[in-house]
Structure 1
Amino acid sequence: MTISHQATGTGPDLLLVHAGVADSRMWARQVAELRDSRRVITLDLRGYGETPSAPQYSDAGDVLAVLEELGAKDVTAVGSSFGGYVVQQVASRRPDLFARLVLICAPTDNVEPDDGLRALWAEEEQLLEAGDVDGATDLAVRRWIGPDADNEARELLREMQKHAYDVQLAAGDVDNEEWPVEPEKLTVPVRLVTGGHDYRFFADSADYLTERLADSERIHLPWAGHLPTLEHPDEALKLIS
């Protein structure tokens, strides 16, 4: 399979899907802690980590293919940011595979980005069009990780984001088929986590889902930015286990 993935440990299946500014390395601390009691499944989406990009693909389809190849069942799926959006797509298509979802600072359909996030995207695009990948990477590290993160977490984010930019810019335009998110089909328990230092869009997305899900739990972390599992690994472990 083209998608780089690992299944570590034994026990109930736990899927961890990384953020759009990271890759599977963001979960290293959680994998080490949980592999004695779970089969922990991690992967790199296309254009991230060790997975190459492709002209046409579906992140949701790729994740589903990994789960099917591994024979996963009754999966607890944890998605950070864009990874949480991918989890929603897969669970909407195949709700029978999942026992529980944890969506950490995740977007969803039918919610508009706030002005601050739009401004960030515009600044990022300007830097990348000028060929300033280092500047765009610095911007990502400043804006996407909260104030409590240590230097090790910031440097890991820098490394993951820089690599993603390099791979994706080399690939050029791609077509990522997104599947619809259908909250009414997500009948398993869903935990929705947001951060006090994150963009409003992600809290708005969590609020939107809370109103439409059959079984939801809303957790707001005043200390957190967009990547709480990197910012406070020990605290974040409690959110997903």
Structure 2
Amino acid sequence: MTVVESMTIPVPGGELYAEVVGSGPPVVLLHAGFLGVQMWDEQLELAAEHQLVRYEARSHGRSSTAMRDHHPSEDLRAVLDHLGLERVSLVGNSMGGGTSLTFALLHPDRVDRMVLFGPGVPPVEFRDPFILEHHREEEAAKRAMDADRFLDNALEYAVDGPHRRPDQVDPEVRRRCREMAATTVLNHHTATGRLLEVDVRSRLEEIAAPTVLVVGELESSDLHRMAREAARRMPHAELVEFGGCGHMTNMEDPQRANDLIRRHLAG
């Protein structure tokens, strides 16, 4: 049986909840916004070949609530330094993909390869009317302090996407995402610190790490646009589309995701 070691890792102004499992070339799993380490449960089978590190970003899950502005890429560096990892591969989804791209730009000597599912490319710019409308609904739910309304809205745009009704999505994926998001909302609704972005978009040509960018067929147009641009401009990147999936590609089609990660990390 594979043993998962849990720990807290200090960062300026707080600490991050983290887990380490397996042995071999190290891989860090970076979760999507509002979610937590459990979104990578199906990827834990990769611990047979890799040392897997997964942690929860500030104001997410069991990590500290951010009361000051912070750079997520610097928290990633703190995780690697704490664990004594000089060079790793990165696997990220959405927000975690944006953190991965930022880290690979700022610390290229510490990144081997990347697999990024629906990554946001900082500074993230949303244009899709579907996403913009749900962001307005999100702000209205915040003002009304209506957690259920907030969570329902988050699942509609971040899990279902613009092309599916909720009943067309795997109910277990929706349940798990809602549970993780509810933990984040409950634990961190008092956060005042902002997540600071670095302008990665203007410097995509500088990110040399071999990268696979995965986008779900049923994803919003914004994520398709950002992934296409990154694949076109990064010197060693390729774009892969997962048919029948939305934003949570690694959860909706875990076997295909794991096979892709294995192949790419093997070089």
What is the TM-score of this pair, normalised by structure 2? 0.84
Partner residue in 2 for 1:70: 83
1:216 aligns with 2:228: no
Q: Distance in 1 between matches of 2:188 and 2:124?
A: 26
1:139 aligns with 2:153: yes
Point out the more displaced range, 112-121 or 75-84.
Answer: 112-121
Partner residue in 1 for 2:73: 60
- Contact 1:24/1:44, CA 8 A, preserved across alignment: yes
Of 210, 235, 239 in structure 2, the residue corresponding to residue 189 of structure 1 is 210
- Contact 1:149/1:232, CA 8 A, preserved across alignment: no
- Contact 1:111/1:201, CA 8 A, preserved across alignment: no
List per-residue Cα deviations over 1:168-191 (Å, max 9, x = no partner): 3222x2133323323222112110
List per-residue Cα deviations over 1:122-147 (Å, max 9, x = no partner): 11111121111111111222332246
Partner residue in 1 for 2:92: 79
Q: CA deviation at 1:81?
A: 0.4
Partner residue in 1 for 2:47: 35
- Contact 2:123/2:198, CA 8 A, preserved across alignment: no
- Letter in structure 1 aligned against 2:155: V
Residues 176 and 110 (structure 1), Cα distance of their counterparts in 2 relative to 1, 3 Å cut: closer
Of 12, 16, 19 in structure 1, the residue corresponding to residue 25 of structure 2 is 12
Q: CA deviation at 1:110?
A: 5.7
Partner residue in 1 for 2:132: 118
Q: CA deviation at 1:44?
A: 0.2
Give percent identity, aligned residues only.
28
Q: CA deviation at 1:229?
A: 1.2
Q: CA deviation at 1:115?
A: 1.9
1:47 aligns with 2:59: yes
Q: Distance in 1 between matches of 2:199 and 2:79?
A: 19
- Contact 1:60/1:179, CA 8 A, preserved across alignment: no
What is the TM-score of this pair, normalised by structure 1? 0.93
Point out the more displaced range, 190-199 or 104-113.
Answer: 104-113
- Contact 1:149/1:230, CA 8 A, preserved across alignment: no
List per-residue Cα deviations over 1:76-128 (Å, max 9, x = no partner): 10110011001111111101111111111011136631222111111111112
Structure 2 unaligned residues grouped into runs of 5+ = 1-9, 263-267
For the aligned residue pairs, the C-alpha RMSD in angstroms reads: 1.6
Q: Distance in 2 between matches of 1:175 and 1:85?
A: 15
Q: CA deviation at 1:149?
A: 4.3
Partner residue in 1 for 2:102: 89
Q: Distance in 1 between matches of 2:37 and 2:96?
A: 10
- Contact 2:91/2:114, CA 8 A, preserved across alignment: yes
List per-residue Cα deviations over 1:58-92 (Å, max 9, x = no partner): 21111111012212244110110011001111111
- Letter in structure 1 aligned against 2:74: G
Of 102, 127, 147 in structure 1, the residue corresponding to residue 141 of structure 2 is 127
Residues 122 and 158 (structure 1), Cα distance of their counterparts in 2 relative to 1, 3 Å cut: same
- Letter in structure 2 aligned against 1:134: D
List per-residue Cα deviations over 1:171-219 (Å, max 9, x = no partner): 2x21333233232221121101111111111111011112211111110
- Letter in structure 1 aligned against 2:52: V
Of 159, 163, 178 in structure 1, the residue corresponding to residue 197 of structure 2 is 178
> Number of aligned pairs?
239
